Amino acid sequence: MKRYRAVIHLAEIDRANLALNNVANLISDLGEDETEVEVVANSEGVRALLGAGPFAERIGELAARGTKFVVCARSLRAMRMERDEFIEEVEVVPSGTGELVKRQTEGWAYVRP
């Protein structure tokens, strides 16, 4: 098991750059082999993970370093978006809030940029 585990909550598209910087800095500071990071996007934050979006390349790089990216199925339905609009590395979870609660219950540190 990784020594450090953090869940990053991305609910606003205008916070995406900051969130991705937080992930990169966290991995650099604590070490890739020691750190497990999951970015949970819900609400407008899901737009940051679009395949045609400005963050796709950075997300791919962070995913290659072990970062997990998930989007909220409820947010996708509310915004009439489909899974295939997102980068390949993105996983859909039933509820972004539920995912955040699960991770925090498991002892993950919660970060909201």
- pLDDT tens, 51-86? 999 999 999 999 999 999 999 999 999 999 999 999
Whether residue 90 has pLDDT greater than 80: yes
Tokens of 89: 């590395």
Query: What is the pTM (predicted TM-score) of this model?
Result: 0.96
Q: Look-up: residue for tokens 């995912």?
A: 99
Give the max Cα distance, the chain.
Answer: 38
Domain count, the chain: 1
Q: What is the pLDDT of residue 20?
A: 98
CB 72 within 8 A of CB 95: yes
d(CA 94, CA 77): 11
Q: Look-up: residue for tokens 């585990």?
A: 5
Q: What is the pLDDT of residue 86?
A: 95
- Whichever domain contains 24, its CATH number is 3.40.1260.10
Enclosing domain of residue 105: 4-111
